[in-house]
Structures are given as C-alpha cells and as structure tokens.
Chain A
C-alpha cells in the first residue's frame, strides 16, 4: 500500500502575528513556521499503519512552504520512506483550494492507495484540504479520524463526533482521510537522524500542473478581534497573583478551610 501524507507549514501561533500593510493577509516574512499539528498527527497514523501492515509512506510538501525541507527530512527521520517537494503554481498558495489543485496534479502522476493528512490547518480560509482534494480526485473521504486500520484493499477509519462518540467506517480505497489525532502521540525524531536524512539528501522535486477548482472567497480585510470583554489582568509578583486568585476563589466559597 502506498500512503501519501501531505504536510503543510503554518505560522507558529506562539509568535506575534502581523498583518500585511494592506491588511488583507498575514505578513509571512518574519514569521516562524511549524508543521501543522494535525499533519504531524496524520504522519504518525501513516507510520503506525506501516509498522503494523507494511506500507510505503511518502511525505509530500509544497516547495513554496517556508522551512519545508526541514519538515520533510524530519518525516524521513521518523520513518517515511520518501519525501517529495511539489513545485508549480504561482507564488505561495495561501488558499486550501490552490494546495488541493497542486496535490491533485501530483497524485495523478504518482497514484496512491491512501492519502492521510491533517483534518484542518490553523490558517484555512476557504475550507479543509482532505475533502477538497478528495472531491477533485473523485475519491471517498472521511474527516475527524482518530485511528485507521488497514485490511486488503480497504481500511476502517474511526470518525469522531462531538462528545467523543465514534463511528467506525469501512472505506474502499483509494480514499482520503483527514486525521484529528493519531492512535498515539507523534513519535520523536532525534536531531541526529534528521541531520542524517538531510545529509543523505533525497527530497525529490515533482512539477505539478494545477487545474482550476472551486471559485475562492475574496479577502476584504483581516483584523484582530476587538478586545471588548478583555480579562482584568492581575499584576504584581507571582505571590501577589497567587494571593489574588486564592482570594477570588475564597470569595466564592470554593476554597475549603
């Protein structure tokens, strides 16, 4: 079974987010980027399938994504068999629809049995990748998946709903799965192995020819949420803050003694 895992670099939310001068986008120039956390979960799930059943796992990134080489080498260090960097399209694709077009073109040239990727990304504006990609490929898809088991020519995917109810679905391949969480926490790749993967090289570039997809929404402006009901900030030393919090709880009868 060949499993392709598209991974995406997203702004690190720990950083201060700046808007572009015209306020219609995120200023990406000075931002730090990390692999989307749901894509890291998807990669783990793919590697778990490989561990259990044997599979060829291919990590796929867009060449225009910041720091994508590092992310792809990390995927190899974790156990992916190969990594591809997809080129083509114009500029940095901001919209999910553009990413889906590039990935669909890649998957037409190098078919997969299963595509496993993050259920969403923190900067999705026009929707999530798994259903968009599946709709372009004409494949079935399932999102919010918390575990996959592979059998002959099919998989069962555990789909999660509000409150933690789970539906187990049998899905014929090929299919696209949007992963919410892997069955276990993503494995760690030792720096030495990431470095080893980098030295070995082996990122393969593939040129994609994106075709047009769904019309996109038009960004009129971006802005920060108005802080109308902002929290009252407790100031002073750690001890002062602790004292204030204990006071608030005591005042409501929530501290015994």
Chain B
C-alpha cells in the first residue's frame, strides 16, 4: 500500500484522532474515549468505505485546515458546517475525491458541536491497546496523546478509486426546530435512590447544556434535584449515564468519561437520542422521558437502519460504471446531475 500524509496547516479547535474507542481496558482504569458522536463517526467511515473502527478526525466547532499530500477520498459528517476543498464547497454526508496537493478548509460549525472527517483507509497512526483514540487528559493514543497542532503530519494511504462513488451520500433531513428536545432514558441503576420529588423534577423540568461540556460529559443547567443523603461506592460508568452531582446538577457522561464514578446515576440516555444532546445548539432545551430497555434498543436499531440501507445501496451498485481511475470524470458527471 502506498503511503501519504495529511499536513495540518491549522488545527482548528480540539481536533483529535478518534476511532470506535479503546474497549476492553476499563478494569485498569483506561477510559474508552473514541468519537463522541458515534453515529456521525460511523457514517463518515461508511461513506469512504472504511471499517467501522477506522480512525477519523474529530473537531469541535471549528475544523482544521489540511493539505493532502496524496490522492484519497474523504467524507465530512456531524455538525453543520461549510467545508471547502480548494475553494469548492463540499456537502456533508457525502464522499468526495481529493487530489494530491488539495487543501481542505472549514468554516465554523453553525448547528451542532462536533464534526468528523473520515479519510479512506483511516488515519494510520500506531495502535495503543488496539485503538488509535486520543484521550488527551492522560496523553494516551492519537498523535502523541494530544490534539492536533500546526505542522503535524498524519499518515494515510494513497487511493485512486472508490466503488459506487456517486451512491456514497446520505440525505439527512434537517430536524425541525422544537422548543424542547426529548431525551429518552432508561431508569437507573440508582433511580430508586432519588425521592419522588427529584424524579419528578428530572422528568418534568427543562435543561440546557451548560458551559461545562466537553468530551468527558455535558453538565446540564436547570433546576437542582434533591440529592440522596446516602453516599454510594464508586461503580463502573456507561455512555449516557446521567450522574447527579452533590449540588443536584445532572452530568451526562460521554466518550472520555472516567471509568468509575461515585455519583448516583438517575438514568441512562438511550444511545439513539444521545446525538441530539451531543450536537446541541446553545440554549436548546431538553427534557427527559423514561422508556423501557426494549424500547431504547428498538430506537437504536431504527436510528442505525439508515446506515444499514446505505451499506446495502453502496454494495449493490459497486460494479456500476464508472469504476477505477475514471472516477474524477465520474464525480464531475455525478455533479452535473445534482
């Protein structure tokens, strides 16, 4: 495989290399990390024909400026933002061919918080504990355990062709703006520890995302919940856990969460709804609504159904022309028909 690199001309904000997470080591206290918005990350990889666990670039609010030293294919997903490849405006959720020497540039995200850039073949940095995910607070994984900086060179592979290029896009209908976004959650494990009054506030009040929102978790702003008097012993944490702090504020745990925590967990936001919280607009109101585990599972499958359909569509059209090096022409033809 021929190798090439991406040069970081401007790192953007909190830009890091992430994958599907460093699973299997939480018993040693190693956080999972990986992409915060799993759906957007998986979609990006799927669009460029990657494995679900291949490493991509995650950024927060402002994407990086990157120079591609070799030809490849890219896809951008996540928060709404304008990306330009040598001045050409790129759509989200769609695969594009990149020529050697091309420069990719982002304008800030206008709706959402996290964006993803997948490159065909993934970012080929070495694995640590079977993962390339960055946990910057403990300098683990990624590129030297940190967020990207000016001058970094990210190893990638050279690709001239990608099958079904014209099919590699997902139309995502924009969500209608609503006053309150409902986050469905599964109760517990400590739901019963909370008073009826606390449970009522949690399920009836409106919350917004506070300033303290990062890859570890989002602290929510809203009315304080009465906190159980009893202290609890630390136990394992899970993505989407809603911890209630001593001051009664909810924190929703995300990718970089600590492996164990001692705050009671009133509920766990179902994975299908987590994306809406992760990509929350400032000031957007959220409310919590309890559902069964089975219903949460059902929602998750419905959400990922789009990815399954896209996989099938790409696979079904993989032998349609144009394939191979003519794809530059193919992409132009595809654009004419847009």
Q: Report whether chain A binds chain B.
A: no
